[in-house]
């Protein structure tokens, strides 16, 4: 079996596009849902029957009965958070037994990674590490402090990378953790004399004890997910790959260095699951009807005024993972066309269109002005992107609320022409329009143009 049965759902902006809702909708048409990158930095909110579920590690597909879910080898897993999430799901009647599998090769986020994340951010903030890049320049990434970067760093540094399978191999685990603790202590004792460091988190005996205990509780789920996925594909299963964190945060193709530490575009599927990317025939690109970003880094269309504030309040733009207010801006079609290109997007889902009701004019960015010249090419490097000025096209808005609209034809003219602009500029059809948080507040458009 090839292509058509496999789908990817990918965020096209800086995250929080509403991928959780989309995965939840599409899960019913698939047999297996797989996470392949990131960790508990992601936060997918799904509202089912008025009940709100916030998922960080467990694939959103878990909320669809009968669907198997897989945390692939490219994910970094914090066992404490995973256990917490499993417990929270169980308490609300969602049983993960026999439905959730975790790769034995997924790397483990340990408590010292979280301390290291905070410490690195503090060093960047205070400029201690900034001497080489310009004194007084804060280089802070604004991470979610979930230990993501340090865990991926250990993975590629190799000797100190702990994998889920190691939680079931006490001797291997101990060797790696002892080495990691020695190295990290030496590094941070030299650098962080004034910073608050919880040195208990670097105590190898304690780290090993806790990790083994958590590993034991997860034992039944830890497996070779590469074989599991290929066997499922071999028996005709339809697999849905659930991207986390989104394209412009991709470590290679995003706004580096203000990115996350994994390949969060569709390009991460191969390395993050062991399933070659060419098996994915359908790539659903998810975008918000406007832009948001959390943390540092350039955002050409950012609105730091009353309009931005109004969008933030209407869209309840506060992080699912950290609660931070999100930065808000107009839709950036230049960035989106780049995201469609590198992901090979075959269809679009436009989320939160209802948030834009009531604005007289809607602006979309169709070019960047750089040194007196206008370009329609995205410039992913943060230093270059920080210098561009957006070129806008103004479109008529729509006054009426659209939260009860159920067909594309039922949308007011301003909303309809906004969608047409997006489709025309990106050259990709819109198949889903979300007009509210609930599953039912979704307009689906079939490939012949009608509602489905």
What residues line the site for ligand IMP (CB under 6 A)? 14-16, 41-43, 141-144, 146, 148-149, 244-245, 249, 258, 260-261, 294-295
* CB closer to ligand IMP out of 41 and 115: 41
CB of 19 to ligand IMP, least distance (A): 9
* CB closer to ligand IMP out of 96 and 382: 382
* CB closer to ligand IMP out of 43 and 300: 43
Whose CB is nearest to ligand IMP? 295
Distance from C-alpha of 431 to C-alpha of 452, rounded to nearest angstrom: 10
Q: In the annotation, is 44 catalytic?
A: yes
CB of 42 to ligand IMP, least distance (A): 4
* CB closer to ligand IMP out of 73 and 232: 73
CA angle 331, 337, 338 (to 5 degrees): 115
* CB closer to ligand IMP out of 143 and 160: 143
CB of 26 to ligand IMP, least distance (A): 19
Contacts made by residues 404-408, CB under 8 angstroms, sequence distance 24+: 404/435, 404/441, 405/435, 405/443, 406/443, 406/451, 407/443, 407/451, 408/433, 408/443, 408/445, 408/451
* CB closer to ligand IMP out of 214 and 327: 327
CB of 43 to ligand IMP, least distance (A): 6
The first and second tokens of residue 44, run together, are 């997918």
Three-state SS annotation for the chain: CCHHHCEEEEECCCCCCCHHHHHHHHHCCCCEEEECCCCCCCCEEEEECCEEEEECCCCHHHHCCCCEEEECCCCEECHHHHHHHHHHHHHCCCCCCCCEEEECCCEECCHHHHHHHHHHHHHHHHCHHHCCCCCCCCCCCCCCCCCHHHHHHHHHHCCCCCEHHHHHCHHHHHHHHHHHHHHHHHHHHHHCCCCCCCHHHHCHHHHHHHHHHHHHHHHHHEECHHHHHHHHHHCCCCEEEECCCCHHHCCCCCCCCCCCCCCCCHHHHHHHHCCCHHHCCEEEEEEECCEEECCCCCCCCECCCHHHHHHHHHCCCECCCCCCECEEECEEHHHHHHHHHHHCCCEEEEECHHHHCCCCEEEEEEEEEECCEEECCCCCCHHHHCCCEEEEEEEECCCCCCCCCCCCCCCCHHHHHHHHHHHHHHCCCEEEEECCCECCCEEEECCCCCEC
* CB closer to ligand IMP out of 115 and 245: 245
CB of 447 to ligand IMP, least distance (A): 30
Please choose, from the candidates 300, 297, 292, the residue with its C-alpha nearest in 3D space to the C-alpha of residue 327.
Answer: 292
**Catalytic-role residue among 16, 111, 332, 354:** 16
CB of 328 to ligand IMP, least distance (A): 13
CB of 406 to ligand IMP, least distance (A): 29
Q: In the annotation, is 16 catalytic?
A: yes
**Catalytic-role residue among 30, 44, 56, 253:** 44
CB of 152 to ligand IMP, least distance (A): 9
CB of 370 to ligand IMP, least distance (A): 24
* CB closer to ligand IMP out of 27 and 321: 321
Q: Which residues of 326-355 are buried (b: 16+ CB within 10 A; e: fewer)?
A: bbbbbbbbbbbbbbbebbbbbbbbbbbbbb
Q: Which residues are catalytic?
A: 16, 44
């Amino acid at each position: 079996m090839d292509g058509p049965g496999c789908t990817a759902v990918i965020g096209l902006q800086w995250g929080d596009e509403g991928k959780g809702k989309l995965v939840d909708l599409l899960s019913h048409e698939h047999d297996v849902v797989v996470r392949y990158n990131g960790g508990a930095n992601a936060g997918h909110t799904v509202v089912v029957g008025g009940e709100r579920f916030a998922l960080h590690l467990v694939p959103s597909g878990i909320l669809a009965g009968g669907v198997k879910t897989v945390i692939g080898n490219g994910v970094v897993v914090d066992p404490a958070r995973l256990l917490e999430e499993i417990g929270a799901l169980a308490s609300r009647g969602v049983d993960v037994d026999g439905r959730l599998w975790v790769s034995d090769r997924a790397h483990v986020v340990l408590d010292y990674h979280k301390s290291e994340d905070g410490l690195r951010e503090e060093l960047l903030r205070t400029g201690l590490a900034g001497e080489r890049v310009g004194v007084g320049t804060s280089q802070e990434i604004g991470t979610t402090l979930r230990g993501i970067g340090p865990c991926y760093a250990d993975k590629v540094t190799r000797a100190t990378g702990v994998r889920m399978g190691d939680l079931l191999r006490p001797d291997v685990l101990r060797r790696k953790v002892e080495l990691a603790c020695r190295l990290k202590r030496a590094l941070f004792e030299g650098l962080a004399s004034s910073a608050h460091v919880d040195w208990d988190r670097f105590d190898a005996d304690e780290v090993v004890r806790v990790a083994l205990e958590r590993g034991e509780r997860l034992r039944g789920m830890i497996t070779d997910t590469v074989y599991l996925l290929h066997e499922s594909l071999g028996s005709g299963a339809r697999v849905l790959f659930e991207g986390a964190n989104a394209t412009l945060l991709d470590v290679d193709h995003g706004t580096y260095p203000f990115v996350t530490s994994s390949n969060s575009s569709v390009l991460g599927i191969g390395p993050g699951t062991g399933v070659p990317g060419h098996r994915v025939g359908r790539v659903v690109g998810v975008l918000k009807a406007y832009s948001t970003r959390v943390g540092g880094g350039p955002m050409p269309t950012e609105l730091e005024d009353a309009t931005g504030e109004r969008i933030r309040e209407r869209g309840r733009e506060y992080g699912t993972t950290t609660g931070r207010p999100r930065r808000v801006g107009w839709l950036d079609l230049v960035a989106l066309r780049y995201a469609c290109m590198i992901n090979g997007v075959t269809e679009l889902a436009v989320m939160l269109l209802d948030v834009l009701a009531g604005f007289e004019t809607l602006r979309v960015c169709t070019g960047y002005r750089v040194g007196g010249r206008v370009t329609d090419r995205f410039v992913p490097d943060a230093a270059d992107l920080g210098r561009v000025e957006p070129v806008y096209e103004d479109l008529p808005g729509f006054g009426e609320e659209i939260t009860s609209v159920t067909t594309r034809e039922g949308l007011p003219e301003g909303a309809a022409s906004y969608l047409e602009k997006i489709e025309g500029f990106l050259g990709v059809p819109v198949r889903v329009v979300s007009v509210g948080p609930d599953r039912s507040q979704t307009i689906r458009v079939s490939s012949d143009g009608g509602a489905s």
